[in-house]
Structure 1
């Protein structure tokens, strides 16, 4: 069980590190956020298995994370059509 928790912590920290390092491209930022979401799913699964609880919350979590991913991709497509690239430095979101 300790190895699973170690894998979860390593995945979560690597996802956060890649999010911080890949802040120039929006697509890479979205992929890093999805990796963090998957690692949190693993952490919730481990937690629920250890305490013998039901897995209904995981289904709600997966539903919300799919909605978050679809929203992120739609924002990416909108920004690509508006600006022509996915560089975060070229976006002027404050107008």
Structure 2
């Protein structure tokens, strides 16, 4: 179980590193955010198994629901950005107001 904790910590930091490196493209930022949420989901699930805490399971379901909402909102922004500006550059997000 300790190796799974180490794996979740590594994936969390890889997600943060991916966001810092790939700041140009919106799709890569969305993928890194999903990696952050999946690693957090896995860490909470493993922790709840480790301490035999069954009350943590609803928190995992809420986190999974929020992750799906974040993905759908991000993809809708991605579609709007690519339709209006034909690119997924983060610099074009401020141009969506016009």
Distance 1:83 1:62 in 2: 31
Aligned partner of 1:35 in structure 2 is: 35
Distance 1:65 1:46 in 2: 18
Q: Secondary structure at the match of 1:20?
A: helix
Kindly report which structure 2 residues correspond to 1:7-18, keeping only aligned pairs within 5 A, or say none: 7-18=7-18
Where structure 2 has 5 or more consecutive residues not aligned to the other structure, the ranges are none
Aligned partner of 1:67 in structure 2 is: 69
Distance 1:41 1:92 in 2: 29
Aligned partner of 2:59 in structure 1 is: 57
Where structure 1 has 5 or more consecutive residues not aligned to the other structure, the ranges are none
- Normalised by the length of structure 1, the TM-score is 0.90
What is the deviation of 1:83? 1.2
Root-mean-square deviation (Å): 1.5
- Normalised by the length of structure 2, the TM-score is 0.88
What is the deviation of 1:33? 0.5
Aligned length: 94
Structure richer in helix, relative to its length = 2
Cα–Cα, structure 1 residues 92 and 33, in superposed 2: closer, same or farther, change >3 Å?
closer
Aligned partner of 1:80 in structure 2 is: 82
What is the deviation of 1:53? 1.5
Aligned partner of 2:21 in structure 1 is: 21
